[in-house]
Amino acid sequence: MNIVIINPTYNENENIKILVKEIGKVIHELEENNKSDTVIQLVVDDSSPDGTGETVKTLMKDSSYSFLRIIEGNKEGLGKAYVRGMKYAIESLHADVVIEMDADLQHDPKLIKTLIKYIYDGYDFVIASRYVSGGAYEKTWSKFRVLNSKIANIVSRGIAGLKTHDTTSGFRAIRSTILNKIDLENITSDGYAFQFELLYLAEKKHAKIKEFGFLFKDRKFGQSKISLNKQYILDILNFFFLAFKFRYLNSIKILKFGVVGLTGTIINLIIYHLVIKDVKIAFIAEAIGYELSLFFNFGFNHYWTFKSNEKPLKALIKYNGTSLISLIVTSTVTQITSLLFSKYKTNFLIPIPGIGVGFIVNYVLAKKFVWRQK
């Protein structure tokens, strides 16, 4: 069996020598135990300015690292790097199995043997998981990273409907037969949502999936790629929209909900302009317009969109609550987007992410908690 371990890198010069050495030990053991296995380590470097690529090329000159390969490209994000690596592994290295693995020493190379064991047991997609029995992350993990990981998994399981527990793990073994069924070029995620999108597509192709617990270590050298910046916000928005698209975009109910919401917005604006002439106070006019449009939205969603048998008064009270949550989410996302993108000329686009995320939250909460439909 041809096995290719893919390590995407960007500024990992402090880690790469240690990683190659440790993976080399595992490869030697794997090939000794099973003479039919050939294992290659493929570094996919995004033109690291710290010289990661040059370090790998220097190591490749040493016969001790004959298992080492490298391909280079421009910095386009984690997803694009993995797609390049997977295509090269399958087309040029004839991989039967590819392994995704971080290059920052947070994934224990010894667990490569466990990933391969489960592949030999007949699984198509094996995941080292933080969220099954035996799984954890080091206590030195920041609260921000813990929250980020848990929310991502709640969204991918709760909204997109994935069955896997750790949908964002980057330590996985995948049979090339599964990857060949997926059009890698059409994967839309450039960043960290790639892990989620690829897993979703594999589930849709009926891949036999196995998770086992592992300890996700903290980074010892270099800087984490996850931080609260513009790219991170874009990745989060993409993750959210993907989850929504996978679960609901082909549903007629979402179209009806959108039509009702748009009509309600128009009614809100009309009522606001009619009332403001009399009350002269914008806040009161806005509140009256909002509440009357909410009654309109509720009525049409209750009897038309969801055709519900729920008691109208009880459902209306819950709908007020979920609509308020959606309004808060919309305002929060819009404020964050404004802070990050206000210097650009496309200021008129700033409200769009907030409106989109607010709509998704409103629909999911209304469907699950107001009208209690799957």
- Written as one string, the DSSP assignment of 216-258 is EPPP-SS--S--SSHHHHHHHHHHHHHHHHHHHTT-HHHHHHH
**Nearest alpha carbon to residue 323 among 284, 287, 264, 363:** 363
186-195 pLDDT, tens digit per residue, is 888 877 789 9
Cite the beta strand spans of 121-168 per DSSP E.
Answer: 125-129, 136-137
Judge contact between 350 and 342, C-beta under 8 A. Answer: yes
How many C-beta neighbours within 10 Å does residue 144 have? 11
What gap in Å lies between CA 123 and CA 171, rounded to an integer? 15
Q: Is the predicted pLDDT of residue 206 greater than 90, yes or no? A: yes
Q: Where are the domains of the chain?
A: 2-223, 251-370
**Nearest alpha carbon to residue 49 among 10, 81, 100:** 10
Sign for the CA dihedral angle at 275, 279, 281, 283 comes to negative
Structure tokens at 336: 């964050």
What gap in Å lies between CA 284 and CA 278, rounded to an integer? 10
For residue 287, the model assigns a pLDDT of 77
Give the pLDDT band of residue 292 (cuts 50, 70, 90): confident
- CATH class of the region 2-223: alpha beta
What gap in Å lies between CA 190 and CA 369, rounded to an integer? 33
In this structure, of 9-13, 190-194, 206-210, 317-321, the range with the lowest mean pLDDT score is 190-194
Query: Quick one: CA torsion of 56, 102, 202, 152, rounded to 10 degrees?
Result: -150
**Nearest alpha carbon to residue 8 among 97, 94, 106, 100:** 100
In this prediction, residues 87-104 reach a mean pLDDT of: 96
Backbone angles phi, psi at 250, to 5 degrees: -95, 15
DSSP class of 301: I
Say which residue, 225 or 335, is predicted with more confidence.
335
The kind and range of the H/E element at 202 are helix 193-204
What gap in Å lies between CA 197 and CA 167, rounded to an integer? 9
Q: Is the predicted pLDDT of residue 238 greater than 60, yes or no? A: yes
Give the pLDDT band of residue 228 (cuts 50, 70, 90): low
For residue 222, the model assigns a pLDDT of 61
**Nearest alpha carbon to residue 46 among 21, 83, 20:** 83
Judge contact between 162 and 156, C-beta under 8 A. Answer: yes
For residue 114, the model assigns a pLDDT of 97
Percent composition of the chain: helix, strand, coil (DSSP 3-state, to 5): 60, 10, 30
